[in-house]
Amino acid sequence: MATLKDVARLAGVSVKTVSNVVNGYEFVKPDNRRRVEEALATTGYRPNIGARNLRRGRTGSLALVLPELSIPYFGEMAGLVLEAAQEHEWNVLIEQTLGTRERERATLAALGPHMIDAAIVSPEALHSRDFDELDPGIPVVMLGEHSVDVPIDHVGIDNVRAARVATQHLIDLGRRRIAAIGAHPYRGTATQRLEGYRSALTAAGLPVRHDLIVQALNYHRRDGAEAMAHLLSLPEPPDAVFCFNDLLAIGALRAAAEHGTRVPQQVAVVGFDNNEESAYSMPSLTTIAPDKAAIAHSAVDLIRRRIKGGQELDPEDVQTPFSLEIRESTR
């Protein structure tokens, strides 16, 4: 592997000149430039990024910390973050936490400032004090979950409002026994979505019935199926269900079908996330569609701002747009 020195020797100039050429410095004698470029070509020189970063005091990499790539929402988000980061020539190092607090914390603590310039974290189970272990020198932006008591940049949609929109849609359909699947004891987003659901019901003069609010400790398809099976076994089953993510909703659709309950005629279903698969489920799924590309770009922009502006800037909370995608499951 050719180094700067090799190229310099071959071109008969100093490393400085080669470095100048490589880095696009303007003022290089044309003659030298030509010789250097020739030498560059014949050696097939490629800069050692590690060495460059060591010298520059940066790494050129971002960490993206998320629960699991196999979960469609995170797979899609990761892809978009990769694209957004690439626009600024960042490499992205992905870390999975599998949604356990222990691994989220360990990952956060291991985020030394030497491997990465900054991190984008999508936490699922973190407590706010876990952030104490975080190296203060490295900028972090949080996605989704929002711990208000930690002064960290955040980007996401307004979960309360989105949940209200989803629930209102079911109310507008004339549904009156509207269930919710996905309540969770400490997940912040779950709490917010539950609040939006409640406030929509209350605003419409409908009762908030606790037997129609089903907890889900995980948000996988299986959990949605179980919750829906339970709801349909009730003496008075719901005529609509708001699921706190699409996977729960997909599971719910299957449970409804197995129970012989027709969607949307007997029970309407709304999801959250707009996973790609939700446009193709049977029936296709009405869902809250966050602008994921906007989330990815905002996250990368926040990082850039933080790297430039330092840790003194006030933490920012960027709210990205969302829409309600109406499909067969409520039509």
Partner DNA sequence: GTGAAAGCGCTAACAG
Partner DNA sequence: CTGTTAGCGCTTTCAC
Residues binding a second copy: what is the number (CB under 8 A)?
Answer: 49
41, 42, 48, 323: which one contacts a second copy (CB under 8 A)? 48
109 to 138: interface string for a second copy, x by CB under 8 A: ---xxxx-------------------x-x-
Q: Which is nearer to a second copy, 281 or 298 (CB)?
A: 281
Q: DSSP string spanning 65-117?
A: EES-TTSHHHHHHHHHHHHHHHTTT-EEEEEE-TT-HHHHHHHHHH--TTT-S
19, 43, 61, 261: which one contacts a second copy (CB under 8 A)? 61
Q: DSSP string spanning 26-59?
A: S---HHHHHHHHHHHHHHT----HHHHHHHHT--
From 331, 290, 299, select the one nearest 318 (Cα to Cα): 299
- Give least dist CB 58 to DNA, A: 10
| 3-state SS class at 286 | strand
What part of residues 182-241 is at the interface with a second copy (CB under 8 A)?
A: 221, 225
Region of 31-39, 133-141, 179-187, 292-300 interacting with DNA (CB under 7 A): 31-39
Beta-sheet strands, E only, within 250-291: 268-272, 286-290
Q: Which does 115 bind (CB under 5 to 8 A by kind): a second copy, DNA, none?
A: a second copy
Q: Which is nearer to a second copy, 91 or 319 (CB)?
A: 91
Which two structure tokens, joined as six digits, stand for 268? 């309407």
Which two structure tokens, joined as six digits, stand for 76? 């899609």
Region of 78-86, 120-128, 190-198, 265-273 interacting with a second copy (CB under 8 A): 78-86
Q: Which is nearer to DNA, 4 or 84 (CB)?
A: 4
Region of 163-171, 190-198, 246-254, 310-318 interacting with a second copy (CB under 8 A): 246-254
As a whole number of angstroms, the distance between CA 222 and CA 233 comes to: 17
C-alpha distances out from residue 85 to 48, 253, 298, Å: 20, 36, 11
- Give least dist CB 194 to DNA, A: 46
| Residue ranges that bind DNA, judged by CB under 7 A | 1, 3-5, 13-17, 19-20, 22-23, 27-29, 31-33, 45-48, 51-52, 54-57
